[in-house]
Structure 1
Amino acid sequence: MHEVEARPLRIGLLTHSVNPRGGVVHTLELAQALHDAGHEVTVMAPAAPGQRFFRPVRCDTHLVPVQAAPRDMVEMVASRIAAFRASIGELLQRECFDVWHAQDPIGANALADLRAAGLIDGFVRTVHHLEVFEAAQLMQWQSRGFLRARQVFCVSRLWQTRLRAGHGIEAAEVANGIDGERFSPVPTAGDAALAQRLGLLAGAPIVLALGGVEARKNTLRLLEAFLQLRRDLPTAQLVIAGGASLLDHAQYHRAFAALAQAGGLPVGAGQPIVLAGPLPDADIPSLYRLADVVAMPSLNEGFGLVVLEALASGVPVVVSRIAPFTEYLQTDELQWADPLDACAIASALRVAIEQREPERIAASAARLGARFSWPASAARHVQLYREGLRDAATRADSLATF
């Protein structure tokens, strides 16, 4: 055990997708920070034929072959758990890892199966947030993924508290980070090119939301708020980027389309509503700079990396007055809104656009950048990994004495 505590760790990090979702971004940034700190890291994710990670990765990667996701959610999750389990089982025949760490229920359930089969000693699970599913099997997989873990981490106190109260789990807090070099208010030549590609109107106030059209992101109420905002700012455009999700949001998309049509707002490039979808990773810094305000009136979040990225890009932000935002953001750093009140969201958007304060935004970005960094997050993870390995070795020694 002393040898493991002294040397760099061999770490397998599992994430559910190669697409730009918050949990995937967290995994890649953490993996690269661990790699830069001298540890051997392999990021593992399911990938259909032809798929690759949405951005280059500085550490090793292992793509788990899967077919295109079936429409049935339970079938999809079951097939991906099985794919992870089989692929890692083969990997274990030729490679050894000190730490297995899953960022979602799919990878965690595969690791739980491998642990039950005696192929690994244990695993770590980060809970970013929990979902409510109609299918009982999905709920069972979600809870099993952290109940069977040797260690559980959370990115906010909110989810620490919920896991303790709801499941008796004592989770450790691990911070997110922000790449201050990647996100900046300084314009580049790519900004104008992206604006032209998306059909952003010169001089029009741009409201930006990231994460796609989803109930958790509260996109319908954001659209209601935008309809109200257009009464005072008739040229405003709503840009929604992202949305590469494994979950089925088709019904919510239909409700969004119906509300946009009822409000007389066309959707498309150059229209009042621009559904940009997942964009190339290189476009994201420009996308932030093109916005007049970033809207995040979410109903449920694990942390909210978008807030850090937007402020670092010099853009005002509107967020829900709920945890986890209230944990790390100060009252005067942005505009707060009741996520259940479209009028409140509209008012916050208007204030953010009309009373933009670059100096205050810069001060907030500096404060948050000093508090949240990926190297610090990686160091915290390593500390917890080593504690978990030490505790597991102690338990094994105790059992060996009987």
Structure 2
Amino acid sequence: MKKGRNELLEEEEKILAPYAVGSKKPGEREYPEPEHPYRLPFQRDRDRIIHSHAFKRLEYKTQVFVYSEGDHFRNRLTHTLEVAGISKTISKVLGLNEDLSETIALAHDLGHSPFGHAGQEALSELMRGKGGFEHNKQSLRVVQKLERRYPEFPGLNLCGETLLGIMKHGGDYETSELLDVRRDMGPSLEAMVVDSSDEITYSAHDLEDGLESGLFKLFDVKELKIWKRIEDSLPKNIPSDKDSISRSAGRVLLNLMVSDLIDSIENRLQQYSIHSREDVSKAFHSQKKLVQFTEEFYLEFKELKSFLFGKLYRHPEVSRMSERGKETIFLLFKHFESHPESIPESYRNREEEEGRMRIICDYIAGMTDRYAIEKLKREGILWFPY
């Protein structure tokens, strides 16, 4: 039997926990639209994100390793898909809205610059005193303004709860009605789950990619307290070669982190008597952490993050790639400042409204690594091997 919108809403209501965000109250879209006959609001948001230009470009944006380093290392797109999968798993077990969690996860890195965090540092430095740059803030800007797929409105016209989920607490967002709502309501549990899923995902896959790349060794990792948990859970018949161990370790670690987080969230929801979205807001404002690992696991996770920071993110080889990326962005930015004719017309049309610095920032932030490198060569600015 064909299911229409009302039947789908009824089914959802039976499944969702009382503290979840239901599709009956998705938050208003900035530009009113008729409801779809068989796709619920967050499903429509998800589809709009997947079909956006910004989402497609994630494939050639750096996570840790630039695209030229190898085909099997994570990029910004594979990372995003992994975060979405983990977010859906946790949300399903806890009775949260899977569609909302998945949608927020798919959008969370849309504003990320090329060359990973090095690119963000470069744009942040270039935009200091000119409105700044921060990738979470840019993600919101992408979905509200920069995407141009629909003639009826700028951006993707997403639901209010989706936009609130994309916003990070404490971010330097422009004052708006949306920001007032975010400060008043705080994040949904779905949004909190995405934030933790992001940390879980990059920690597991960076451990795996770091081992596989050889930037750190197995004996380095064995010093970590969390490695004992991993070792105890590894398959007994696993081959002893580095690649087999690194891939199995990443998978096992992912499962350990997700399982601990789910158990911890369930306990905290009971401990703080969370029975509604309003209870989630009250807990947030009273600084009660609803989505966090158990205390012992959190300390081990913190040690792992510190290890990855020192051994991977600050590794001389990664730093070398990062510096090249930053230099590329600095050179492009300065070139566009003095040669605005090199900026696409669609960006130049907004110069009077937003200023040259902002449109240059938008243009560069939207570039993929490879496009930025090719642009550098085509403009005849400078060339160096990647």
* Structure with more helix by fraction: 2
Coarse TM-score class (shorter-chain normalised): under 0.3
* Structure with more strand by fraction: 1
Q: Give the structure, 1 or 2, with the largest relative contact order (CA under 8 Å, sep 6 or more).
A: 2
Q: Give the alignment's TM-score, normalised by structure 1.
A: 0.22
Q: Give the alignment's TM-score, normalised by structure 2.
A: 0.22
